[in-house]
Chains A and B, each alone.
Chain A
Amino acid sequence: MRELLDLFWTFARIGGLTFGGGYAMLPILQREVVEKRQWVSDEELMDYYAIGQCTPGIIAVNTATFVGQKTRGIIGGIMATLGVVFPSLVIITVIAAFIQNFADLEIVKNAFAGIRICVCVLILNAVIKLLKSSVVDKATLVIYAAVAVGSILTSVSPIIFVLLAGIAGVLLQNWKGGATK
C-alpha cells in the first residue's frame, strides 16, 4: 500500500512539475524514477518513452502506466497514471472556474483575442517540428497533404483518417520491403 501511494505521489509531482508534457517530461522522469527511486533503468525508461510516443494516447500518461506496471503490476500502472493527471485536474479546474467568472470583462476578452493569435503561431511551430520527423518521403508527404486538406474541407471524423493512414502505412511499407528484396 505504501509503495502504491509512493507511486501516486511521485507521478503527481512529475505531472505538476512538467510544463507542456511529452518531451519536457523526460529529464524530470529520469531524475525521479531512475536516479532517486531506481524503479526502472535508464534504458527501460527510454524504451517506454519511445513506445509511449507511438501508442495511442498522451505520451506522459503512457510512460507513467509503463513505469507503474513495471514496479507494482496492473494496480501500480493505474496508480501512477492517476498520479500524473492529478495536478492537471486540480489546477485546470481552479483556473477554468476563475476564467468562467471573468470571461465577460473587456480586459479578459482583449487578452484572449491576443492570446488566440499566439495559439496560431504555437500550432504552426508544432506543425513545423512534426513535419520534419513525420514527412520523410513522397508517400508520407501525400498522406500528410491528403489528411490536412481532407480534414479542413470535410467534417469526417479524425478516426477515419487515422485508420486509413495506418492501413496505408502497413501496405506501403510492406510493399516497399518486398520490392527491395
Chain B
Amino acid sequence: MTYLRLFYEFFKAGLFSIGGGLATLPFLYNISDTTGWFTHGQLADMVAISESTPGPIGVNMATYVGFTTGGIPGAVIATIGLITPSIIVILVIAGFLKAFRDNKYVKGAFYGLRPASTGLITAAGFSVVMISLVQLDAFRASGSILDLFNWRGLLLAAVIFLLTRVFKKLHPAVFIGASAVAGILFGFAGVSI
C-alpha cells in the first residue's frame, strides 16, 4: 500500500512541478507533512546529496525519498512515478510542438506558473532555514533573543554565500564538502568536542 501511495505522490510531483533543479522540492515538503515518512531535516540532507551526485537533481531526490521510505523497490517506484507524467505529456505534445509553444493560452499559463514555482521554492528554502538557522526551542526556553538564531550557522551561511558569489563557476559539491568539514571541525550538531 505504501508503494501505491509513493507512486501516487511522485506522480503528482512530476505532473505539477515546472522547471528543473529544485522545482520538486515543495512537493517533497508536502509529502513529508502529509505522510510523516521522513523529516524536514532528512529532506535537507537529501538535497545536499542529490546536488553533489551525478544525475538530474529531481530524479536523485525521488530515488532518495523512495529508498528512505520503501528500500530499493521504493526507490524504483518513486522514480517511475516521477517520470510517468513527463513521458505521457511529452509523447502527447511531441506531435504538435510548434503549435504548443506558440499558443497564447500556454504562454499565458507559464507567465503565471514561473513566478509561482519560484515562490514555492522560496517557501521550501524557508523551511530549511527554520531547521538549520533558527532555534525556536532554545528561544522559548530562555526567552533571550540571542538564542533565537544559530549565530555560528548564520556566519557560515554568510561566508558560503559570499564564496558562491565570487566563485560562480565552482560546482555546488565543493561548497557542500567545505560545509561538511566546517560542521565537523566546529561541532555544528551541538555535540561537544
Complex contact B63–A92 (CB within 8 A): yes
Q: Is B135 an interface residue (CB 8 A)?
A: no
- A123: interface (CB < 8 Å): yes
Quote the shortest CB–CB distance from B34 to chain A (angstroms).
Answer: 8
Q: Once bound together, how far apart are the Cα atoms of A16 and B120, in whole Å? A: 28
Q: Is the CB of A118 within 8 A of B119?
A: no
Contacts of A157 in B (CB 8 A): 30
- Asked whether any CB of chain A lies closer than 8 Å to the CB of B129, the reply is yes
**A145 interface residue (CB < 8 Å to B):** yes
- A interface residue count range (under 10 / 10 to 19 / 20 to 34 / 35 or more): 35 or more
Interface mask (B97-140 → A, CB under 8 Å = 1, otherwise 0): 11011001111111111111111111111111101110000000
Q: Of the listed stretches A2-10, A31-39, A168-176, name the one at the interface; the rest are far from the partner chain.
A: A168-176
User: In the complex, A112 Cα to B112 Cα: how many Å?
Assistant: 36
Q: Is B141 an interface residue (CB 8 A)?
A: no
Binding site of B, secondary structure by majority: helix, strand, loop or mixed?
helix
Secondary structure dominating the interface of A: helix
Closest Cβ of chain A: how far from B15's Cβ, in Å?
A: 5
Q: Judging by beta carbons under 8 Å apart, are B55 and A169 in contact?
A: no
Q: Which residues of B contact A23 (CB under 8 A)?
A: 20-21
CB within 8 Å for A112 and B48 given contacts A92-B55, A92-B60, A106-B191: yes
Contacts A81-B86, A126-B121, A158-B30 known; list 17 others, CB within 8 Å: A20-B56, A56-B17, A58-B83, A60-B20, A66-B90, A92-B49, A92-B64, A93-B63, A95-B53, A117-B157, A119-B47, A123-B47, A146-B119, A152-B123, A170-B108, A171-B108, A174-B104
9 nearest A-B residue pairs (beta carbon)? A114-B183, A169-B112, A22-B20, A21-B56, A147-B119, A165-B116, A173-B108, A57-B86, A88-B55
